[in-house]
Amino acid sequence: MLMHARRINPLEFRPSIGSSLKLFSTLLPDPSPDSKTQTGKPTKPLSKPQLKALVLSQYSHGKFSNLVQNVVAFPAVLLTACQNLTAPQPDNALNYPDSPSLFHSVSKRFDIGEMGCELRENRFDVKACCVTMVPSRKKGECLVLPNLKLKVLIEAIRMSLEIVYDERFVTFSYGGRVGMGRHTAIRYLKNSVENPSWWFDVTFDRVKFDDRHVNKLCFSIEEKIKDSILIDIIKRLFECEVLGIELGGCYLGRGFPQESGLSSILINIYFNGFDKEIQDMRLRKNQENPKFDSNELVSMSGVSYKPLKIYVVRYLDEILVITSGSKMLMMDYKNWFLKYLEGRLELKVDRMKTAIHSAVSEKINFQGMELQAVPPSVLHPPMSEKAIRARKKYLRQKEVRSLELKNARERNRKKLGLKILQHVFKKLKQSGGFKFEFQIENEVREIFRTWANEVVQEYFSGSLEERSEWYQKLTAGDFLSLRHIRNQLPQELVDAYDKFQEQLEKHLSPVKARKALEKEERRVEEKEEQKYAKRTVEDLTRLCIKVDAPIELVRKAVKMAGFTNSMGRPRPIKLLIALEDTDIIKWYAGVGRMWLDFFCCCHNFKMVKTIVTYHLRFSCILTLAEKHESTKREAIKHYTKDLKVSDLDGNEEVYFPTEREVKMMGDKNLSDPRPVDGALSLALIRLASDELSCSCIAHFCDRKATVFYRVRLLQNRLNVNPLDEGKWVPGMGAIHESLNRKCLPLCSEHINNLYMGKITLQDIDCTLFVDVD
């Protein structure tokens, strides 16, 4: 794919600075250091255009300057960050309605005005906002998490960096960007990559960013942003270990609490120079190998032309390189990639796993899915003989139904004519033969005038004027003896009469009909031969990418989580028996829906549907039966196979996807669905505790009616190390072990969203956990 990419010149923003300042001055109060003037009344959050105008107004002399003092420290920006944390939406996180209650909820926890003053004066204490989570086992690793105040600062910095950098990132950089997620990358591979021959994916060793990487990252930021306070805050976040980047792990973009909100955009900034070099290399290669019309070349010389192409897709720390050239050329590209990553970026690459594979004969894993180059007929196979017979049968049935309707209309028309003739003969009989001829003619004309009116209203669809015009034409004069009436009849009626004559000739002369039938059969055969020839040529000259779900890994995850036994049959999960029936169904529904959303773009999506429809559904039924000490049949009779439950008002609710809903599912237009790792490895068990009620620990939730839930992690229950690929599912992440057995007070709304996978532990302030023995 030829990408007409260009470097964005920061000077292009200069004409909008004046208008941005004018707009900004009308939207926000004066940013004076006096916090009293800023906390006297509730501050409204900013919309996305307002925030963008504010950030762009800080541009001068080729750089953005003082973003912390003039943007991040502003109370309206901090309140916007609070709003994003309250109701995160990946696609457009800033277009929310103003909520006055949000400011009061934030004021109960910390003072936004005072926080802004601390940021402007560089007095914000990052270390005081960090909480160390101690694991339950002695040899476990500790985890440093930010409290809610520090999360607001991190989100405000992320929003500012997103406006500065998002338009400067290359088009093949995915992850941590609006509308540029996993499914967008997979859709690009399926639709844009042509004739792949060799590929490899870059695999990094599990090494955290140290001082060298942090300094290099800060140097990259200073190329666009002149702000010493921002650089100092980022360095302090790394020093306190509340912000950590570990390439080669399985936690980025999965909603785990150990991932910071700044990790994604900082990774993209760190790799931005690398991406620009790849983009320039691709443009040079495209200029050296121009694209021609392949159809024209085939018609002229009888051969097909395959231009040399290089495709690169990067999702955070996962890099996939594809080429349509030779293996020697791919080896040169690989050496250049490794030299740049290990030399200039000072990263450690696993050279054993970073191997070149044949795109046709070997599969490669990317984004938790399997990729392979196949002919187009594999993705869009021709109809089988059984399908062809079924289609012909359907067309015959459709033709028979159409003929039956036509015969019914003819039968009704015949009945109407017979009624008219019977009425005419009845009138003639009553007259006794003594009426004058003109009287009989007038009566017949009157009868046919009535009949014409009924015919026009029944068989001609049109306006009132059109029906009146045809009524006058049909009823004026002695139309039964006029031959030129054909010219005055509707064309549809004339065509119908002509078709009748053709059918009559066909039945009277079978030789002519047989010839027409043979001609039609030859035309159909020629059409099928053309389709077969075109399909054969495409299979010999084209290769596409097939995306499959790793079914063996999915089955291993299903077995490891306890959905199935050693025989592969559904079994109950006894750990969930302590939950309410609705919570059990919601937990299963969250896992199932996340699996379906994640793999809906795969070619073998039908197999994933089977796993959700059979294994998860019946495991949930068996768990409910185990809880109530009943049989599977009794549980199905009570909950039905759709797992319906009733609320307090007696209304039926369905959380688990029904069999019909799963059957109708297909490729959705999703951007970045979260993997199932977090929901699958997390179980929240309700406690029967007499502790005093606490506020919900979801971000800025003031509900007091909460219930304590104990976190039970899968790796701790199984006593398995997630880094051991032999016992753990390869490529599957895990929540940090320090949260195991912690108790979280949550309200009914947020626990439901957590079960259903709508929110993750990143949307909860886990530092406010409660110790309950």
Tens-digit pLDDT profile for residues 336-356: 999 999 999 999 999 899 999
Nearest-angstrom CA–CA distance, 608 and 606: 5
Specify which of 15-24, 39-48, 476-485, 745-754 reaches the highest per-range mean pLDDT: 745-754
Residue with tokens 């004559």: 501
pLDDT in tens, 624-670: 999 999 999 999 999 998 888 887 777 888 888 888 888 888 887 77
Residue 27's Cβ-side half-sphere holds a number of Cα atoms within 13 Å equal to 21
Alpha helices in 108-262 (DSSP H): 112-120, 148-165, 182-192, 211-222, 228-239
**Mean pLDDT lowest for which of 24-33, 152-161, 312-321?**
24-33
pLDDT of amino acid 690 = 55
pLDDT of amino acid 139 = 77
CA nearest 249: which of 772, 657, 723, 743? 723
Nearest-angstrom CA–CA distance, 751 and 740: 17
pLDDT of amino acid 296 = 52
pLDDT of amino acid 626 = 93
Label residue 476 by pLDDT band (50, 70, 90): very low
Q: Which tokens sit at 84? A: 């994003």
**Mean pLDDT lowest for which of 385-394, 454-463, 512-521, 748-757?**
454-463
pLDDT over threshold 70, residue 312: yes
Nearest-angstrom CA–CA distance, 614 and 663: 12
Percent of the chain predicted with pLDDT > 90: 33
pLDDT of amino acid 303 = 56
**Mean pLDDT lowest for which of 163-167, 424-428, 605-609?**
424-428
pLDDT over threshold 60, residue 4: no
Q: H/E element holding 663?
A: helix 659-664
pLDDT over threshold 60, residue 503: yes
Label residue 292 by pLDDT band (50, 70, 90): low
Alpha-carbon torsion, ordered 579, 582, 585, 587, to 10 deg: -60
The string of DSSP codes covering 123-168 is ---SGGGEEEEPPSSTTPPPEEEE-HHHHHHHHHHHHHHHHHHGGG
Nearest-angstrom CA–CA distance, 269 and 209: 14
**Mean pLDDT lowest for which of 72-81, 151-160, 220-229, 532-541?**
532-541
Nearest-angstrom CA–CA distance, 355 and 608: 29
Paired residues of 369 in beta bridges: 366
pLDDT of amino acid 23 = 39
pLDDT over threshold 90, residue 2: no
Q: If you average pLDDT over residues 75-97, what whole number do you get?
A: 68
Q: How far apart are the first and last CA of the chain?
A: 60
Q: Which amino acid, one-letter code, is at 597? A: D
pLDDT over threshold 80, residue 202: yes
pTM confidence score: 0.77
pLDDT of amino acid 481 = 38
pLDDT over threshold 90, residue 504: no
Nearest-angstrom CA–CA distance, 135 and 143: 8
Label residue 28 by pLDDT band (50, 70, 90): very low
CB-count burial class (<10 Å; 0-12, 13-18, 19+) for 615: buried
Q: If you average pLDDT over residues 721-732, what whole number do you get?
A: 86
CA 105 to chain centre: 32
pLDDT over threshold 60, residue 19: no
How many CB atoms are located within 10 Å of the residue 132 CB?
13
pLDDT over threshold 50, residue 370: yes
Nearest-angstrom CA–CA distance, 547 and 550: 10
pLDDT of amino acid 99 = 57
Tell me which of 285 and 772 has the higher pLDDT: 285
Tell me which of 322 and 458 has the higher pLDDT: 322
pLDDT over threshold 90, residue 86: no
Q: If you average pLDDT over residues 746-766, what whole number do you get?
A: 89
Q: Which positions ≥6 away from 375 have C-beta within 8 Å?
A: 538, 539, 540, 542, 543, 544
Q: If you average pLDDT over residues 533-537, what whole number do you get?
A: 80
Q: If you average pLDDT over residues 484-497, what whole number do you get?
A: 65
Q: H/E element holding 639?
A: helix 632-639
Q: If you average pLDDT over residues 387-415, what whole number do you get?
A: 86
Q: Which tokens sit at 243? A: 């912000």
Q: If you average pLDDT over residues 494-515, what whole number do you get?
A: 63
What values do phi and psi take at 708, rounded to 5? Answer: -85, 135
pLDDT in tens, 117-158: 999 998 999 999 999 988 877 777 888 999 999 999 999 999
pLDDT of amino acid 314 = 93
How many CB atoms are located within 10 Å of the residue 695 CB?
16
pLDDT in tens, 670-688: 778 888 888 888 888 888 7
* Per-chain mean pLDDT for the chain: 80
Nearest-angstrom CA–CA distance, 345 and 352: 19
Q: Which tokens sit at 542? A: 């084209």
Burial state string for 52-75 with b = 16 or more CB within 10 A and e = fewer than 16: bbbbbbbbeeeebebbbbbbbbbb
pLDDT of amino acid 154 = 94
pLDDT over threshold 60, residue 508: no
